Amino acid sequence: MTHLSTAAQNFQESAIRRSGILGAAVPGLISLAAGYPAPDVFPWDDLAAITADLLAQRDGNTLQYGATRGYRPLIEQLIAKTLHDRAITAAFEDMVITTGSQQGLDLLGRVLIDPGDVILVELPTYSGAIAAFHNLQGQFAGVPQDSEGIDLVALEAAVTGIKAGGKTAKFIYVTPNFQNPAGLLMSRARRLALLEFARRHDLLILEDDPYGPVYFEDVTTAADTRPIKADDTDGRVIYLGSFSKVLVPGLRVAWLVAPREIAQRVELAKQATDICSSLFDQRIVHGAMDRGVVDRIAPGLRAHYQAKRSVMEQALQSSLAGRVKWTSPRGGFFLWIELPEGVDDRELFERALKARVSFVLGSAFFVDGQGHGFARLSFAGISHEQITEGIARLATAINSH
Ligand SMILES: Cc1ncc(COP(=O)(O)O)c(C=O)c1O
């Protein structure tokens, strides 16, 4: 096509959405692909009451355009409560409300990436971040992880390589809490060492944290999930939080904390993108915070996902033990499995669809063309029965290899 921009010609389709589309054509399919939150834990009655109250007030502002930065009372609540709980200090000027963290990633990309700049990411990393930065013509350097998180020796080598190639390393994108897809929790020591590394190389860190509050039984202290941002003394870390996993994803409300001049540029980029995030959505979220709904549902939500994680692990134990490998996730929505030797994710996907189950290809989360020996399974949005049956079907597909 001749009229498309170079960037648009190279836009990438989301692998997660793609597997959803392929799966939708299969009757009776169980999707282990979608990482959607469970509607069972949505606070339906609270949201109904808050919404009814808001509309009954007939305050025109509720359904009006709002400030690009976001609804001020919501930002003030975030500062006083959420950021305070996470040991992060920020002022109004450091924050922007975004239409999901996905928009935050896109806006930050617009503000920080020049075509050809290199972004350092974990192997694997969140495919939505890959898509956002790729579409802005960023390039990638993938850095392996060990059990504690991103490998700093490999990171050093990657930065050296980028500089030697005459390119600019712009920032390091990480998801330290229960990463999507690998479920990994970065250790506290590694977080601090990463911050020190970023200082030494004058790099920014983009810390994406939608899953931090969704921790399981063995995460017992706040220190385990303490954001890197909490220890950032020189304005080097940009932090993204979201209501998608702790309230509902359908109200597209998320937020970011950034050094002031970056937040201000993000505001300008957002003006041109959507003027403001839905004020109605923001006011509903504000109402939910105000009435303590987010805090009240949090324990039930953790128990809900933890139980599903255990059901999935039991199912894997009984039908695929010794065939696939995984590390038990300590929070979040995902179980990341290493496939048996010789099994390729693309080929397995075809066989899985025949067995009426889907997953996301491991390779969708790798920026270096690797990852074909992995699959991402989500236990979040489906029932215990569906998890058990889905894993049984996946075992059929794997064992027919
Ligand atoms: C790591 C990560 N970042 C960002 C997002 C985007 O979330 P939202 O736009 O709903 O806030 C997701 C969604 O799954 C995610 O897993």
Query: Which of 242, 246, 255, 336 is the best mutation target for the ligand 1 pocket, counting ligand atoms within 8 Å of the beta carbon and taking the most?
Result: 242
Query: Which of 14, 36, 102, 248 is the best mutation target for the ligand 1 pocket, counting ligand atoms within 8 Å of the beta carbon and taking the most?
Result: 102
Quick one: what percent of the chain has pLDDT higher than 70? 100
- pLDDT value at 15 more than 90: no
Crossing angle for the helix pair 384-399 and 293-320, nearest 10 degrees? Answer: 30
> Ligand 1, atom 14: nearest CA belongs to which residue?
35
Contact (CB, 8 A) for 336 and 312 = no
Contact (CB, 8 A) for 116 and 106 = no
Q: Cβ(128) to ligand 1 under 6 A? A: yes
**What is 6-42+296-399's CATH number?**
3.90.1150.10
> Ligand 1, atom 16: nearest CA belongs to which residue?
180
Per-residue confidence band for 199, with pLDDT thresholds at 50, 70 and 90 = very high
Could you read off the pLDDT of 285-313 as tens digits, one per residue?
A: 999 999 999 999 999 999 999 999 999 99
Give strand ranges (E) for 115-229.
118-123, 139-146, 149-150, 169-174, 204-208
Q: Cβ(358) to ligand 1 under 6 A? A: no
Cα first-last separation, the chain: 40
Residue bearing tokens 């096509």:
1
- pLDDT value at 16 more than 80: no
Average pLDDT, the chain: 95
Q: Which atom of ligand 1 is nearest to the CA of 243?
A: 11
Quick one: what percent of the chain has pLDDT higher than 90? 91
Rounded Cα–Cα distance for residues 68 and 283 (Å): 14
* Residues 6 or more apart whose Cβ sits within 8 Å of residue 4: none
The confidence score (pLDDT) of residue 24 equals: 79
Domain ranges of the chain: 6-42+296-399, 64-293
Decide the pairing of beta strands 149-150 and 139-146.
antiparallel
Identify the CATH class of 64-293: alpha beta
Burial of 156 (0-12, 13-18, 19+ CB in 10 A): middle
Q: Cβ(210) to ligand 1 under 6 A? A: yes
DSSP result, 288-317: HHHTTHHHHHHHHHHHHHHHHHHHHHHHHH
Rounded Cα–Cα distance for residues 72 and 74 (Å): 5
Rounded Cα–Cα distance for residues 125 and 180 (Å): 7
Mean pLDDT of 18-34: 86
Q: Which atom of ligand 1 is nearest to the CA of 99?
A: 9
Could you read off the pLDDT of 108-152 as tens digits, one per residue?
A: 999 999 999 999 999 999 999 999 999 999 999 999 999 999 999
- pLDDT value at 218 more than 90: no
The confidence score (pLDDT) of residue 157 equals: 97
Mean pLDDT of 154-170: 95
Q: Cβ(125) to ligand 1 under 6 A? A: no
Of residues 192, 266, 260, the one with CA closest to residue 230: 192
DSSP result, 64-85: S---TT--HHHHHHIIIIIIHH
